[in-house]
């Protein structure tokens, strides 16, 4: 009987020793130095572990950090907008909105028209290709296919290429090789290639976010693949797709380097798509670089800001109507 008790005590001591070693190893993994009381009193050590691993332990700090970052972001945005409005609003007058540009009035109307035409042309080129490619990669291509991985890696690489490289490519291909010259068409084709990866990736992520249960339910009702995509999947992904189009529109409106090489800097509305013309961003860059019409450059920035905000509002309204 005494031997049995001795064996039982030895087994208990071995279990406690093993628990102490595991406790010290666990605390080391958590980058926390073990306390002597944790090793002599396992119950205290377990309480410390539970308090350390509590889900809401750092919640107040994270909450205040998020609020601080959001406040700083809003403060920077409001400061930028206020600075542009204060500098540009005094120079908004009737002379700035004349149809013909002269060195006296510095009219923004030709640049505004060219910007709208350039944006529509670039979206007409990039949106169908980007959305169609994303639909194929998500809905029709086999998951895990090497071709899909190569296409995704290529689009991510194209997203990070500087715009000046696109401008040089457009000048060599569209302006030189295809003999389009400095024109709106050459500029639209160049920026269309620039925004294609953005539209493609955002559309792909939006389609992947649609639950598979939507597709399975549609198939269960007897619908085919094409009908499922266009009646169920795409309407559910419309907000994400429009977000990508808004991002692409902002890049087209604010682009300068690529368009200087392809569209030119002529301050007029061209007679056709193969004529040269400057956009609002190029117009603002030329005025500020000359140093003679800095106030008009800030006024152009105000017009550009209002244009971007208006496009975002229209896109949001369109998304709400398409979701109904």
pLDDT at site 7: 44
Q: Does 47 have pLDDT greater than 90?
A: no
**Would you list the DSSP string of 49-66?**
HHHHT-TTTTHHHHHHHH
Contact 24, 13 (CB under 8 A): no
- Collapsing DSSP to helix, strand or coil, 175 comes out as helix
Return d(Cα 186, Cα 264) in angstroms, integer: 10
pLDDT at site 141: 85
pLDDT at site 23: 47
Binning pLDDT at 50, 70 and 90, where does residue 215 land? Answer: confident
Helices (H), 229-293: 234-236, 238-253, 257-262, 280-290
Q: State pLDDT tens for residues 105-134.
A: 888 999 999 999 999 999 999 999 999 999
* Mean pLDDT computed over every residue of the chain: 81
Binning pLDDT at 50, 70 and 90, where does residue 5 land? Answer: very low
pLDDT at site 218: 85
Q: Which residue has the tokens 């992904």?
A: 237
2 versus 319: the higher-pLDDT residue is: 319
Contact 174, 258 (CB under 8 A): no
Contact 276, 266 (CB under 8 A): yes
DSSP E strand boundaries for the chain: none
Q: State pLDDT tens for residues 147-184.
A: 888 888 888 888 888 999 999 999 999 999 999 999 99
Binning pLDDT at 50, 70 and 90, where does residue 11 land? Answer: very low
Rounded mean pLDDT, 249-271: 90
pLDDT at site 55: 54
pLDDT at site 96: 87
Binning pLDDT at 50, 70 and 90, where does residue 36 land? Answer: very low
Q: Does 26 have pLDDT greater than 50?
A: no
Contact 267, 111 (CB under 8 A): yes
Rounded mean pLDDT, 141-150: 82
Q: Which residues contact 171 (CB under 8 A, 6 or more apart)?
A: 261, 262
pLDDT at site 200: 92
């Amino acid at each position: 009987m005494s031997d049995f008790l001795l064996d039982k005590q030895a087994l208990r001591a071995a279990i406690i020793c093993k628990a102490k070693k595991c406790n010290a190893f666990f605390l080391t993994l958590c980058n926390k130095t073990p306390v002597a009381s944790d090793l002599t009193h396992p119950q205290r050590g377990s309480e410390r572990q539970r308090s350390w691993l509590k889900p809401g332990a750092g919640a107040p700090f994270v909450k205040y950090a998020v609020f601080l970052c959001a406040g700083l972001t809003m403060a920077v945005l409001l400061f930028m907008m206020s600075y542009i409005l204060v500098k540009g609003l005094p120079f908004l007058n009737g002379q700035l909105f004349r149809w013909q540009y002269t060195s006296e009035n510095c009219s923004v109307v030709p640049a505004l028209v060219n910007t709208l035409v350039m944006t529509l042309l670039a979206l007409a080129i990039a949106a169908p290709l980007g959305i169609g490619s994303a639909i194929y990669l998500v809905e029709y291509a086999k998951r895990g296919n090497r071709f899909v991985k190569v296409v995704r890696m290529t689009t991510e690489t194209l997203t990070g290429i500087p715009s000046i490289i696109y401008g040089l490519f457009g000048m060599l291909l569209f302006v030189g090789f295809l003999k389009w010259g400095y024109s709106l068409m050459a500029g639209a084709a160049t920026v269309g290639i620039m925004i294609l990866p953005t539209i493609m990736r955002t559309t792909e992520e939006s389609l992947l976010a649609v639950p598979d249960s939507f597709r399975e339910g549609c198939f269960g009702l007897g619908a085919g693949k094409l009908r499922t995509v266009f009646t169920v999947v795409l309407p559910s992904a419309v907000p994400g797709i429009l977000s990508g189009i808004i991002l692409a529109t902002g890049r087209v409106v604010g682009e300068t380097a690529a368009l200087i090489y392809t569209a030119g800097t002529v301050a007029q509305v061209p007679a056709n798509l193969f004529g040269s013309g400057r956009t609002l961003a190029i117009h603002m860059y030329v005025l500020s670089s000359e140093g003679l019409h800095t106030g008009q450059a800030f006024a152009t920035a105000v017009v550009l800001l209002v244009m971007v905000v208006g496009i975002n509002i229209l896109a949001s309204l369109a998304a709400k109507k398409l979701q109904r």
